[in-house]
Structure 1
Amino acid sequence: MADNSSLVGGQSLRKIHARVIIVQILVMIFLCINLLLIMTFFKKECFYKTTRYIFFAVTLLSDSFLLFMSNIMLICNYFQFTMPVWFCMIISAVVILYFVVTPVTLTAMTLERYVAICMPLRHGELCSQSSTVYCILIIHGLSSVPFIIFFSIFFASASLSFYTQYRVCLAEIFVLYRWQDDIRAGVYQLYFVLMCITIVFCYVKIMKVAKAASGEQRKSIWKGLRTVILHAFQLLLCLIQLWLPFIETAVLEISFKLFIFVKYIDYILFILAPRCLSPLIYGLRDETFVHALKSYASFGLCKRNT
């Protein structure tokens, strides 16, 4: 009996290790790709002076940071490492912030495409380098609202002794009462609705302009429309993330083992997958960026051969 139980335990442990290794490989691949794209972004002046490329760099940086931090939390959860609640709070605050930064930035990128196509005469004024910096600050300000509300409620509810306890670092440990989860759900649903309305509004307006355009202008506008559609799909995956905490909280009440498995699947499908689309949308579909990327990746050999 002892041998059988140890065999089952060993198989279970190997399965857990295999899952963790798969995640580490995927995270390393995505981080290396993002690093290459970020370095390419800083190589050409036209990139860091153009609004859409600046937003692209913001998504790459926020995605990379989120992947790194959430991966650490995933490893800690898998092996049930414990840490002081106050330290877990700091990590969770950063993860929640960059969890929201990407979908908000994608919404801003869609608005930039709307301005470029539907208001071309005002694009230079509204999407200047200085206004883009202010927009990035606004993006981070809006993205910080959920974790400020979430932790303000926690501060008002938790006792001082709770902060020094050692727990497995999960966002769920900060939900002490059901009404806290309801408020968190309300905030995320509000963000979900506002971002969906913005995407649909931009799509409809660009579609109208595309139908009225002709020739080269029509071709350019339809390319912008396809970019908006890709943004919408990527944003949909990111917005599904906003619903994950409520699904995971319900699963946690059933079984911690099932919760870890669901969290693993959610991480692969709705955190890793959407973040591989950013390089596709702007890194590989944009001719200017692709040319610079090839030149940089081949150490300038492509440039010398052309």
Structure 2
Amino acid sequence: MSGIGEIDRIVGAALDEDAPWGDLTSETLIPVHATATAELVARESGVLSGIEVFAAAFRIVDPSIVVERLAGDGDPFAPGDALARMHGPARGILTAERVALNLVQRMSGIATLTARYVAAVAGTRARIVDTRKTTPGLRSLERQAVRDGGGRNHRRSLSDAVMAKDNHLAVLTADGQDLATALRTARERMPHTAHLEVEVDRLDQVDAVLAGGADTIMLDNFGLDDLRAGVARIAGRAVVEASGGVSLDIVGAIAATGVDVISVGALTHSARALDLGLDVVISTVPAAGTRGQP
């Protein structure tokens, strides 16, 4: 799970964007002492992710709002299920509503899509992992959503591993450098704890990459026959990752080739936000001139 500090930073920035000078509608229409009870309700089936993020939006707007979590991250749900219940000042609930929903809908959409990919490769050795194709500023939350859906995370950032992709190799070999030698030189410069991954787009690159000491070899946009040939050629000397053009229709067949990892950019860049709603179920507006009771 993302840390509370990071959640508060992301959610706080989203609230500042949505209500930079306050919630004009709630402040002019809703009595200051009005209270409400509302529920987060599923309109479709899915896998929940982001319940702490959802709760944080209400806590940051008004710490007196009480959020009862009725389901947890990673839990499946069906249409009509109540996933959380909020009670407290109506103004605060209405102010936090959209940001809270935007984030939990986005995260639950990613978790739900990830769960479908994971189910499609069940019984194989392949792990489903995400990529850096995330929404700027939301990477931590989207990576958590992948985990909540049963997937795994790839490197978090450019700082986490050495990952030589096609454009890196093009620069390296432009002046005639030998690929294996260039990779061995890179390994000598790496911290001893770092991981070296190299992307290839042709089978004839595999031997040089193995000679260069790659820990993982990514077979990018390979057909099924070439994936099988790549797995056989690598023969356990490196982790084999398949990437590029992965869809739900073909991911099972990709997994059956024997690859260890399947990276899927669609988990984060193409996931549809799930239809979750916030329904006010009880509201109390005190009579004019009275404070009312929550």
TM-score interval (norm. to shorter): under 0.3
What's the TM-score once normalised by structure 2's chain length?
0.25
Q: Which has the higher strand share?
A: 2
More helix by share: 1
